[in-house]
């Protein structure tokens, strides 16, 4: 006979009502899990555990952890997948008319190769 470690986690979110009798509670034998005799419960991968000013806080899911810290009147919602309409793409090539081309007057500065966009050639004062 040896010593075994049993882990029990209760959700600290006051409105957690996953189970009708009270907050969600998850329990498993950590020694058996570490030795490979049993698998950890699937719900254990959703647990959120952290230290808040020296007190261990535990939550059954990320949503309850988020709502625990929100001020009254705010609500956390899980990400939702929103279907975007699939616009039918037209494969027609648009003809470029002379009216569509950008217009430039002869007085506009022309970009130079030196990158500063000034009309000089970089040999100022020579």
pTM of the model: 0.50
Listed as own residue / partner, the contacts of 27-35 with beta carbons closer than 8 Å and 24 or more positions apart are 29/4, 29/5, 30/4, 30/5, 30/6, 31/2, 31/3, 31/4, 31/5, 32/4
Mean pLDDT to the nearest integer, 88-102: 61
Q: Calculate the average pLDDT of the chain.
A: 75
pLDDT reading at 68 higher than 70: yes
């Amino acid at each position: 006979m040896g010593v075994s470690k049993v882990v029990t986690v209760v959700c600290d979110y006051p409105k957690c009502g996953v189970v009708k009798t009270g907050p969600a509670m998850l329990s498993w034998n950590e020694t058996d899990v570490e030795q490979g005799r049993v698998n950890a419960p699937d719900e254990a991968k959703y647990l959120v555990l952290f230290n808040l000013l020296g007190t261990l806080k535990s939550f059954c899911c990320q949503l309850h952890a988020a709502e625990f810290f929100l001020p009254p009147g705010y609500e956390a919602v899980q990400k939702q997948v929103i279907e975007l309409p699939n616009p039918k793409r037209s494969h027609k090539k648009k003809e470029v008319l002379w009216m569509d081309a950008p217009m430039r007057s002869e007085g506009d500065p022309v970009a130079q190769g030196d990158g500063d966009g000034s009309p000089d050639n970089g040999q100022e004062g020579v």
